[in-house]
Amino acid sequence: MKMKLAVTVVALALATACSTSQEPGAAGSASSQATASGSVSAELKSAVANPARSPANTVRDVHRHPAETLTFFGLKPGMTVIEIAPSSYYPEILAPYLKATGGKYIGTGKAVEAVADQNVWGPQTYVPFGRDSGPLAPAGSADMVLTFRNVHNWMWQPGFLDKAMADFAAALKPGGVLGVEEHRADPRPETVANGRSASDGYVSKATIVAAAAKAGLVLEAESDVNANPKDTKDHPFGVWTLPPNSWTAPRGGVTPEGFDAAKYKAIGESDRHTLRFRKPA
């Protein structure tokens, strides 16, 4: 199943993924989600439906579309997958899936408490990742690197985004995939405040593509499976005004008079890029 070992598997993955790719603006349409959903494997459906998953995570599935997102990225049995800065959300899906299919889950940072029980979720390896960290894995050993809603954080430290992308490219096998989900600034520009680009958490597609290209990774396809046309991207506390953070005040501040939390809850989670990059074979 390794991507560089079977050209036919890569071709099939490309054909399937391209069928789910959409132009920006289709915003989570029924057609895009139905197309992706139709190709979701039984093993992945089982991992998503696992009753052991945290209720705090499963309630977010309606916003995060995990089966469709991972299918679009090209997740396959037996892969070695590295997830960058995981919360508990995706490890609860990926670790059992990879255990059941003979693959390997690697996360960065310390083991997340909610998924630390390897008897429940399957084996997990955790490695350091930061501005001064070493390789994520032996060069060319990973089939897939995944990052969910992290890019804006790396933009706030000079040079970190370039370093991160270089780390991902080094870890990936030739033909391997980088899957990126990130809060989408487009069509308006990124905000800049206190010297920080994407200060409100929303990042432009151009920023992500340029950083990936600098590391030698090529944008192969994009999907609007995680788009949200209700997200106006002009919230008082940036993207963190929306669920799941649902801030009601600025960090360290007080709630403004007349603030309507229900308004932001009704929007749901953010409008997001879902981008698939590939390391050239």
CB atoms within 10 A of CB 74: 24
Closest CA to 154 of 133, 140, 135: 133
DSSP annotation string for 92-105: HHHHHHHHHHT-EE
Question: Which residues are paired to 276 by β-bridges?
Answer: 179, 221
* One-letter amino acid for residue 226 of the chain: N
For the record, the structure tokens of 8 come out as: 């036919």
Instruction: Give the rounded distance of the alpha carbon of 240 from its chain centre.
Output: 17
| pLDDT band (50, 70, 90) for residue 250 | very high
Sorted by where each begins, the domain ranges of the chain are 3-233
pLDDT digits (tens, 9 = 90+) for 253-281: 999 999 999 999 999 999 999 999 999 99
| pLDDT band (50, 70, 90) for residue 16 | very low
Are 172 and 140 spatial neighbours (Cβ–Cβ below 8 Å)?
A: yes
Cα gap 154→132, rounded to integer Å: 13
Alpha carbons within 13 A on the beta-carbon side of 81: 30
For the record, the structure tokens of 55 come out as: 């209720």
pTM of the model: 0.86
Res 213 pLDDT > 90: yes
Options 3.20.20.210, 1.20.58.220, 3.30.2000.20, 3.40.50.150; which CATH number does 3-233 get? 3.40.50.150
pLDDT digits (tens, 9 = 90+) for 134-153: 999 999 999 999 999 999 99
* One-letter amino acid for residue 28 of the chain: G
Are 66 and 90 spatial neighbours (Cβ–Cβ below 8 Å)?
A: yes
Which DSSP helix (H) or strand (E) runs through 274? strand 272-278
pLDDT digits (tens, 9 = 90+) for 27-36: 333 334 334 4
Instruction: Give the rounded distance of the alpha carbon of 112 from its chain centre.
Output: 17
- Which stretches of the chain are DSSP H helices? 7-20, 30-38, 42-48, 55-58, 61-64, 66-73, 91-101, 118-121, 151-155, 160-171, 205-214, 261-267
